[in-house]
Amino acid sequence: MDEHRAITAIGSRPPEPENWCPRTGAPTADQLEDWKLVMEYSRLGSSGLKVSRIALGCMSFGDTSRGFSEWSLGDQEAQPFFRQAIELGITFWDTANVYGIGSSEEIVGRAIDEYARREDIVLATKVHFKMHDGPGGSGLSRKAIMEQIDASLTRLGTDYVDLYQIHRFDPATPVEETMEALHDVVKAGKARYLGASSMWAWQFAKMQHAADLHGWTRFVSMQDQYNLMQREEEREMFGLLADQGVGSIPYSPLAKGRLARPWGEHTRRFDTDPVGRRFDIDNDRPIVEAVQRVAEARGSKMVQVALAWVLKNPTVTAPIVGATKTHHLPDAVAALDVRLSDDEIQLVEEPYAPHLPTGY
């Protein structure tokens, strides 16, 4: 892994969030004098694209009136998290056309204009899920891809994305049609790199093979679900990614927050997000309790232990972390400095039992 580190703040432990600057949602200049957080940057798989090792997940941001989710933060509520991401060196931002039914992309686009230069952000979005009832409103047909990349670019307020990802596999469209259309998006200058998300390993291999056969652009990343409570990617997908030089950028690295708090504690999102219920399984309670024990013994937070475990996998480039509270992103960045011992790794891994893959 080609990696370098950049100091984004100085000291040892972050000040408590209630003491941060209320305007920026980040620590004050004086507080930064006593706080050390180091961002790491790494190439995405074997590509030349360097990304921050923590990615900002933007599914947390959107207009709830459009019906995508009840727990998303609106435009004004979301702004402090983009400012904070920039302060922390988190420059890899991931969204999707379907998040907030387009409104997440709109919010992200405005945030880039407000807080960053476009060239300083590695911007990722996705295509597949339903945006409207027409033939170009969903799936991975040529029509859908060409229509949806243009719509995403309009909402994002940019003429290109750095990483254009297929949100799922589309069994209704020949892989050759999909891969050629994606290649044409790259050649048109509308995307720099291509990525994929949650599917069976054989499906991903089939798509990469089609690209190789025809000289089309290959995928450089796989956005898959990976955390201590869902480790099925280790069976086939991770071996394939390592062989192909593809970087994993896992979503739900904290199991929708389940690994970030003691068993039994609930949040607003947990109570309203049906997807998060996948991780409300009594058999997984020992995993959460093991993470809690390791964190308490270290004097660390559970989130840092759970993320450090994900980050130790050499196939993982950058876990995607959503943020709805001011401590979420600093806690995630702090995980980069956590190195788990062999005994700690065994303790948190031992309770795992096989699961059916979820999300595809």
* CA separation for the pair 330, 308 (Å, rounded): 14
* CA separation for the pair 138, 131 (Å, rounded): 6
- By the 10 Å C-beta count (0-12 exposed, 13-18 middle, 19+ buried), 38 is classed as middle
Q: Known catalytic residue: 360?
A: no
Query: Alpha carbon 333 to chain centroid distance?
Result: 14
Among the listed residues 41, 99, 164, 193, the single catalytic one is: 99
Beta-carbon contacts of residue 204 (< 8 Å; ≥ 6 apart): 169, 196, 219, 222, 237, 240
Beta-carbon contacts of residue 208 (< 8 Å; ≥ 6 apart): 218, 219, 244
Residue pointed to by tokens 């609106």: 74
* CA separation for the pair 132, 289 (Å, rounded): 43
Tell me the catalytic residues.
99
